[in-house]
């Protein structure tokens, strides 16, 4: 039996009863796999890694070491929020690593999406290995928030940084307790584990972060414009009461420019692409019909507040044909 294939008779987890049965089953499996060893967890702060953290804390307590890597590709204020929630509110054993320069140097001049994903994924693994050496030889496992759509989409669609095993030079065994679950099931599990609602419903965010939303070869100025435009979008969606009602929304900024006119002078700057989708399991997705006034307000703020952006567009493509992310 393929351990990365969801059994056809596996019941969809939709109720607290099914969630608690899964939690009990996974706690036994985690304890059997880990024993008295220590585990490193790649903690992004998203619902997937947060649920894995909660499961591991419940199963093995302080044997878990959470590592949050700021690769310079996080959303505005996000790393600071992760540190506050997990270290101060959840009392996790958390290691914070600022690796911004390290990642952006490796990505300099790299335009091909799969190459970017693989560089980011490989470097993530190496950062964790370094952190493991700092805490001692007793660390034997790497926990990850891999979910089932990650595995399915890695078969001929796109590479996910947390799928496919470890490099040959890495001596950790994987622990992936939610790898056969869909996103909606992970949220049900998270609620039963007692995670804050804001964390359970946190916007999905790809492992490579803004690296796959800063389209093409990443530059620091365009990355910063993307970060600011995305923050405006999220701020306005929250103000409009759309948090939890639209499944995912974000901005991408491509590596080409458009002509505009700013204060009577020709501007040759980047466009910002707004993407919003609704889905249940991330395998198919529809584009919501957003209020026209909201789109105009978001556009006005981005054009007024974000240097380097002279045009805003709204992506109407469903999945399929388009994937949720542009890259």
* 201-228 pLDDT per residue, tens: 888 788 799 999 999 999 999 999 999 9
If you write DSSP's letter for every residue of 134-194 in order, what string do you get?
HH-TTEEEEE----HHHHHHTTTT---TT-S---TT---EEE-TTTT--HHHHHHHHHHTT
- 29-79 pLDDT per residue, tens: 999 999 999 998 888 888 999 999 999 999 999 899 998 999 999 999 888
| Model confidence band, residue 158 (pLDDT cutoffs 50, 70, 90) | very low
Kindly report each contact of residues 34-38 with a partner whose C-beta sits within 8 Å and lies 24 or more positions away, as own/partner. 34/59, 34/60, 34/63, 34/140, 34/141, 34/175, 36/63, 37/63, 37/138, 37/139, 37/140, 37/141, 38/63, 38/64, 38/65, 38/135, 38/136, 38/138, 38/139, 38/140, 38/141
Dump pLDDT digits (tens) for 69-84: 999 999 998 888 888 8
Please list the residue range(s) of the chain that carry CATH number 3.30.300.10: 213-314
Regarding the domain delimited by 16-200, which CATH topology (the fold level of the hierarchy) does it fall under?
Rossmann fold (3.40.50)
Topology, domain 213-314: GMP Synthetase; Chain A, domain 3 (3.30.300)
Q: Where in the chain is the domain with CATH 3.40.50.620?
A: 16-200
Which residue's entry shows tokens 């991330």? 282
């Amino acid at each position: 039996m393929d351990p990365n294939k969801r059994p056809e008779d596996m019941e969809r987890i939709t109720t607290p009863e099914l969630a608690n049965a899964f939690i009990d089953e996974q706690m036994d499996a985690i304890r059997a796999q880990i024993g008295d060893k220590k585990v490193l967890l790649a903690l992004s702060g998203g619902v997937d890694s947060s649920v894995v953290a909660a499961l591991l804390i419940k199963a093995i307590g302080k044997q878990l070491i959470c590592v949050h890597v700021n690769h310079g590709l996080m959303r505005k204020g996000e790393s600071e929020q992760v540190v506050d929630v997990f270290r101060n509110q959840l009392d996790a054993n958390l290691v914070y690593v600022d690796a911004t320069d390290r990642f952006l140097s490796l990505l300099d001049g790299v335009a091909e999406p799969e190459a970017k994903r693989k560089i980011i994924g490989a470097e993530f693994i190496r950062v964790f290995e370094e952190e493991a050496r700092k805490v001692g030889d007793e660390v034997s496992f790497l926990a990850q928030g891999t979910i089932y759509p990650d595995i399915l989409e890695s078969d001929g669609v796109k590479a996910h940084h947390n799928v496919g095993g470890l490099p040959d030079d890495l001596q950790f065994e994987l622990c992936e307790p939610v790898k056969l679950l869909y996103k909606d099931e992970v949220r049900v599990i998270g609620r039963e584990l007692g995670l804050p609602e804001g964390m359970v419903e946190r916007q999905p965010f790809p492992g490579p972060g803004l690296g796959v939303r800063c389209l093409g070869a990443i530059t620091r100025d365009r990355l910063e414009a993307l970060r600011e435009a995305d923050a405006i979008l999220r701020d306005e969606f929250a103000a409009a009461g759309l948090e939890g009602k639209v499944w995912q929304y974000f901005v991408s900024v491509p590596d080409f420019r458009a002509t505009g006119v700013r204060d009577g002078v020709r501007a040759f700057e980047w466009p910002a692409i707004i993407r919003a989708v609704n889905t249940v399991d991330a395998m198919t997705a529809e584009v919501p019909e957003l209020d026209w006034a909201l789109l105009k307000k978001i556009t006005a703020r981005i054009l007024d507040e974000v240097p380097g952006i002279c045009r805003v567009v709204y992506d109407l493509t469903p999945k399929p044909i388009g994937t949720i992310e542009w890259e």
